[in-house]
Amino acid sequence: MAVHLLKQNPDQIRIYSRDEKKQWEMQRRFPEFRYIIGDVRDVDRMEEAMKGVTYVFHAAALKQVPSCENYPYEAVKTNVVGSYNACQAAKAAGVKSFVALSTDKAVKPVNAMGTSKAMMEKIICSENQQGGDTVFSCVRYGNVMGSRGSVIPLFRSQIMEDTPLTLTVPQMTRFLMTLDQSVDLVLHAMTRAKGGEVFVRKAPACTVQSLAEAMRLRYSPKREKHPIQIVGIRPGEKIHEMLVSEYEMQRLTEEKEYFTIHPEYRLPKKPSPKPLGEEYTSANTRQLSEPKDIFALLEAMGEVEIYI
């Protein structure tokens, strides 16, 4: 994401993380950033790192569903306590805008990762009730194409290694959003937030079966003969991604490309409520089933995200 933010010509971009190896690899390619080793579990270190900072984009998280299922308290310490620490550091540093990156899994969570991110959203969106000049908001994503840990890099590596493409459940659906679109959503939140909102960008979706079939046609020398293996659903995994629940649908405003979910303490004057019970999910958004339509997004995806 930081690489994409370079297009906005900032005075400086600081990379704060605990992963020394990824910072070293990233610094070799992008020496113009300032790199700071630290952990969101350490509030004093974050206060030091945020001195003089205007905008904070909070992406630190334990985000792998299986590992959070095995070690849920570690998810709490990073995703919940770490997010609270980041908020306190931002207020102490006089940050203008703080945008936290959340996930579809925070909506009606069924796993430890989603539960911890749901609490993260509550913490971020409540901060504007506590006073101070920092504006806090969240963005909520489904599947970001090419992001680290997502299914597209997995399929690409399996094609390169000439091993079967592993599907959990063929009818499982996932949103298809490019990295540029995800950064656009962050900038939208940064410029539009008044405090406490969750911003969602609309996106098409497809089944993982359709995605696998399109990717083998696009990247595999074997094309449709490249094998696909069904491995079954993982613990805590959802069949469909949900970005707006039926409860949130009653306090949102809608634009052509975005939903804005407003906090209960600052309801919009002119909401765009949906029928009771309606939700926004990867099963009821625009569906892509033809390989050519998925090819277009794969071309727009750009480079697979390596670092963040």
**DSSP secondary structure letters along 56-68:** EEE------HHHH
For residue 58, give both structure tokens: 């909070």
pLDDT tens-digit map of 110-119: 999 999 999 9
Cβ pair 72, 235 in contact under 8 A:
no
Q: Map tokens 């908020």 to a residue.
A: 87
- 105 classed as catalytic: yes
pTM (2 d.p.): 0.92
304 has a pLDDT exceeding 70:
no
Q: How many residues does the chain have?
A: 308
Give the residue among 174, 215, 217, 183 at the shortest CA–CA distance from 201.
183
Architecture of domain 2-301 in this structure: 3-Layer(aba) Sandwich (3.40)
Cβ pair 174, 208 in contact under 8 A:
yes
The mean pLDDT of 6-14, rounded to a whole number, is 89
Confidence of residue 302 (pLDDT cuts 50, 70, 90): low
Confidence of residue 273 (pLDDT cuts 50, 70, 90): confident
Portion of the chain with pLDDT greater than 70, in percent: 97
How distant, in Å, are the alpha carbons of 54, 90, 139, 225 from that of 124? 17, 11, 11, 48
pLDDT tens-digit map of 23-66: 999 999 999 999 999 999 999 999 999 999 999 999 999 998 88
CA-CA distance, 101 to 137, in Å (whole number)? 9
Task: Spot the catalytic one: 63, 91, 105, 238.
Answer: 105
301 has a pLDDT exceeding 50:
yes
289 has a pLDDT exceeding 60:
yes
Calculate the average pLDDT of the chain. 93
How distant, in Å, are the alpha carbons of 1, 195, 261, 303 from that of 265? 31, 10, 12, 40
Domain positions in the chain: 2-301
2 has a pLDDT exceeding 90:
no
pLDDT tens-digit map of 236-250: 789 999 999 999 999
Q: Map tokens 């969106």 to a residue.
A: 125
pLDDT tens-digit map of 147-198: 776 789 899 999 999 999 999 999 999 999 998 899 999 999 999 999 999 9
306 has a pLDDT exceeding 60:
no
Cβ pair 205, 288 in contact under 8 A:
yes
